[in-house]
Amino acid sequence: MKPTVIIITLMFFVGGCSKSADSSDGVVTQFGEEVSGVATYYDADGSGACMFDASPDDMNVAALNAVQWSTSAWCGACADVSGPDGSVRVRIVDLCPECDHGHLDMSPQAFDQIAERALGIVDITWQFVSCDVSGPIRYLYKDGSNEWWTAIQIRNHRLPVASVEWSADGETWNLTERTEYNYFLDESGFGPDGVRVRVTAIDGQIIEDDLPPPQSELEIAGTAQF
């Protein structure tokens, strides 16, 4: 099946900022909104609750606090962080369950770029921004995925992903469920055949791709980027 793509640009504005992600606590985080909080560091390797692979060549990563986690909505998102001694752009790869609103738990390498590591904890301001990525978005079928139970993850995205839908005929669309472990799930599966998938970014941009039938741990390159 030949991959095709349709990109439609739509913008939703809430209070002057682009679309937001809501946490279970009712806290609304706007994309681009400046947040005040604190930074700490931990032994990060790029993996974690977002279920990404370790990234030894990209250690500018962080864990997001539980208040703003929003069912993994910010997994893979990037944040510009300013501290006492400088700034750094980090990618959200993990969850910090004990952290309060505004708290980023960073890799030591990222923390070093904003403050002396000996301080342990520092005040910061930060905001979600577009990631500097190259190439198209990527799709990963979760281990165990099959025609009767399908979970898919979106990787290498410039903007946070708002939703994922799939269609067997290109006309009737089925909305997947976002999970806490950063996959989009259909408990009944995508079926035995190839499907068209529609990915919507937080600002309303849409990418559609044709994917092969679900197969455990199969990764596929998309055809476009947000």
- 60, two tokens: 């500018």
112 Cβ neighbours under 8 A, 6+ residues apart: none
Give pLDDT tens digits for 204-220. 999 999 999 999 999 99
What type of residue sits at position 33?
A: E
What gap in Å lies between CA 118 and CA 13, rounded to an integer?
41
> Which band of pLDDT confidence, cut at 50, 70 and 90, is reported for residue 61?
very high
What type of residue sits at position 192?
A: P
* Tokens 């990525």 belong to residue: 133
DSSP 179: P
Number of Cα atoms under 13 Å in the Cβ half of residue 115:
20
Give pLDDT tens digits for 21-56. 655 455 678 999 999 999 999 999 999 999 999 999
Q: What is the pTM assigned to this prediction? A: 0.88
According to the model, what pLDDT value does residue 18 have?
Answer: 46
Apex 169 CA angle, 163 and 170, nearest 5: 50
Residue 44: C-alpha distances to residues 62, 96, 195, 223 (Å): 8, 11, 36, 31
Return the higher-pLDDT residue of 143 and 5: 143
pLDDT for 222 beyond 50: yes
Type and span of the H or E element at 108: helix 108-111
User: Do 161 and 76 touch, CB atoms closer than 8 A?
Assistant: yes
Going along the chain from its start, the domains and CATH numbers come out as 34-129 (2.40.40.10), 135-221 (2.60.40.760)
Average pLDDT of span 14-27: 48
According to the model, what pLDDT value does residue 48 have?
Answer: 98
- Closest listed residue to residue 58, CA positions, set 42, 40, 46: 46
Cα dihedral 72, 146, 54, 103, rounded to 10, equals 10
According to the model, what pLDDT value does residue 28 have?
Answer: 75
> What share of the chain has pLDDT > 90, as a percent?
87
Give pLDDT tens digits for 94-130. 999 999 999 999 999 999 999 999 999 999 999 999 9
